[in-house]
Amino acid sequence: MNKKIGFIGLGIMGKPMCRNLLKAGYVLYVYDIVQASVDEITASGANACASISEVAENCNIIITMLPNSPQVKEVVMGKGGIIENASKGTLVVDMSSIAPLASKECEAALKEAGMRMIDAPVSGGEPKAIEGTLSIMCGGEQSDFDEAKPLFEVMGGSSVLTGAIGSGNMTKLANQIIVAVNIAAMGEALTLAVKAGVDPELVFNAIRGGLAGSTVLEAKVPMVLDRNFKPGFKIDLHIKDLKNVVETANELKSPIFLTTQVLQMMQVLSGEGEGGNDHGGIARFYEKLAGIEIC
């Protein structure tokens, strides 16, 4: 594989992903609207670019890791963007979590320009981005997935092609439903235990090895017990994902009762200034209603 890679979007996830690529020997050309983020990754060995066009002119594989659909569409299709400046045959690997229809729109525009795209959103938050053990859910052509696979092996612990373009983001939406509902159930259960006078840490230790045990519990219960809501994945970002779930479900006429309830919990917390906290902080919704703290 060509070792020269473009990377656009150096946020909480993008920066550690870049560092892992640099450690693996890839030559990175990076861009972000926040210059401090560019400077940070440049200090780790990347080449700073002053614009999207500079990235596109230097690389025929470009990874994007951006907040939501509008930003991805602007970077791909907007003025000064990838389509205007990249060469034919360029492969765009969008690792942002966006609406599946937006992925399809971007891929169609790239294809018309003689370029290719995979949607490859990730799960695991900042800790797994740092470890290089993200779960990567992909949509696109098998040949394009195979071309990007060595990159995924550096950034992730697993990568699965789930179908045509947009399938990766559809899989990510399913992931985000399960994670959100799981965290909410955790908050509800531990709040009940505390109200009953039972030690929440002992409850966790008792159930973690049974059917209720999960990766979510292992990651989030210790944070709640330590009152540590430093974001690995912010409530506001999970709100964005669940809004994409609602939009997609409405288009497909698919029921999402649990998702809409948890989305409302998150929006209440965000309105109270807690949107920048880790999504494990959904437990705070129950704590406030019950008038207790889990720990």
Q: Are 204 and 243 in contact (CB under 8 A)?
A: no
Phi and psi at residue 124, in whole multiples of 5°? 135, -15
Task: State which amino acid sits at residue 128.
Answer: K
For residue 108, what is the enclosing H or E element? helix 100-112
Catalytic-residue membership of 172? yes
Nearest of 232, 92, 109 to residue 168 by alpha carbon:
92
Q: Of 15, 128, 172, 220, which residue is the catalytic one? A: 172
Report the side by side order of strands in the sheet with 116-119.
47-48, 27-31, 4-8, 61-64, 91-94, 116-119
Q: Give the C-alpha separation, 106 to 235, whole Å.
A: 27
Give the sign of the dihedral formed by CA 234, CA 46, CA 97, CA 51.
positive
Tell me the catalytic residues: 172
